[in-house]
Amino acid sequence: MPARRRVVPHLVHPEDRQQRDVEHEAEEEVRGAHQRAPPGEKRSGEQRRDEGGQQQQDRNRGNLSFPFGGKSGKLSPVRSPAGGAGSLVKLLCDIPSGTEVLVHVCCAPDACYGVRALRDRFDVTGFFYNPNIHPVEEFRKRLRATLDLQEKDPFPLVVGAGGEEAWEEAAWGLEGEPERGRRCEACVRVRLRETARKAVELGMPAFGTVLTVSPRKDAAMVNRVGREEGERTGIRFVEADMKKGDGYLKSVRISREMGLYRQNYCGCRYSFR
């Protein structure tokens, strides 16, 4: 296996946008993670931290880049302990096998099954982007759990930054909505819109999400929003219902076997109450 290059992410202050060194704790937190880079192309890393005011209370984000070892940057499919994850996921699209797909990752428990299932068919890169998660301590737990998953069952991963203002605007006036209601749809749209944008930036022709593993999410709504955001950006959305074939139960079993942190609420402060 090729020797790992040491990558030190940097931070962009939200006010002056000047690049600074990230503190040692952040570097230790992401040590061992990898990001796939297209052949012949090197990507720079970026970490963003919001400081001061309400943003500091709610958020501490990272946008980190890492080298990905391997000749082609592709991973062999890994079967879950439940057996044959990919064959049990109900795909609702005709995207060809082997297509590069940027897959939105909401949390490690959903990803431990969902990413495995999708990479049984596609060339998958994960994208952890969740400006909805509250409080910041919970965000850190879910990010660390995702990085823990990536170390135990390696897959390319990008960690996104920012989006708090867009999320707040989307959720405005929908504070009283129930789970699976209009606020959830707005939240899903913010995250999938950024996933589609990032996929275009990385030169990928398709994107998807592991959100449909969770019983808290309406798969029909998630797939509709994904299609709409794909049409906006001109790329394909991998429609799937990952709850099919006991996908959620498998995700619970796999995450427990791997010792991953399991949250007990969806993520935003309204679901936290």
- pLDDT by residue (tens digit) across 40-99? 343 333 332 232 333 333 333 333 332 222 222 232 333 333 333 444 466 878 899 999
Paired tokens of 43: 């990507």
Q: What is the CATH number of the domain that holds 150?
A: 3.40.50.620
244 is a domain residue: yes
Q: What is the DSSP string of the chain?
A: -PPPPP---EEE-TTT--EEEPPHHHHHHHTT------TT-----BEE---SHHHHHH----B------SSSS-------TTS-HHHHSEE-S-PPTT-EEEEEE--HHHHHHHHHHHHTTSEEEEEE--TT--SHHHHHHHHHHHHHHHHHS---EEE----HHHHHHHHTT-TTPPTTSHHHHHHHHHHHHHHHHHHHHTT-SEEEESGGGSTTS-HHHHHHHHHHHHHHHT-EE--EETTTTTHHHHHHHHHHHTT----SS-SSHHHH-
pLDDT digits (tens, 9 = 90+) for 92-142: 788 999 999 999 999 999 999 999 999 989 999 999 999 999 899 999 999
Question: Does the residue 199 lie in any domain?
Answer: yes
Average pLDDT over residues 239-249: 91
AA identity, residue 264: N
Confidence check: pLDDT of 151 > 90: yes
**What is the torsion angle, in degrees rounded to the nearest 10, for the CA atoms of residue 201, residue 183, residue 54 and residue 24?**
-50
pLDDT category of residue 164 using cuts at 50, 70 and 90: confident
Q: What is the count of structural domains for the chain?
A: 1
Residue 11 located in a structural domain: no
Mean pLDDT of the chain: 73
More confident residue, 149 or 269: 149
Q: From residue 179, how far is each of 19, 164, 188 by CA, in Å?
A: 39, 20, 12
User: 119 lies in a domain?
Assistant: yes
61, part of any domain: no
In a domain, 5, yes or no: no
139 phi and psi angles, rounded to 5 deg: -60, -45
Q: What mean pLDDT do residues 174-202 have?
A: 92
Q: Is residue 66 part of a domain?
A: no
Q: Which two tokens stand for residue 264?
A: 């007990």
The Cα 52–Cα 256 span in angstroms is 37
Residue-wise pLDDT for 15-43, tens only, equals: 322 222 333 333 334 333 334 333 334 33
C-alpha to C-alpha distance for 249 and 175, rounded to whole angstroms: 30
Radius of gyration, alpha carbons of the chain: 18
Residue 171's domain spans which residues? Answer: 75-272
Contact 160, 63 (CB under 8 A): yes
Is residue 24 assigned to a domain? no
Q: How confident is the model over 222-249, as a mean pLDDT?
A: 95
Q: What is the mean pLDDT of residues 1-26?
A: 30
How far CA 134 is from CA of 60, 190, 198, in Å, comes to 10, 16, 23
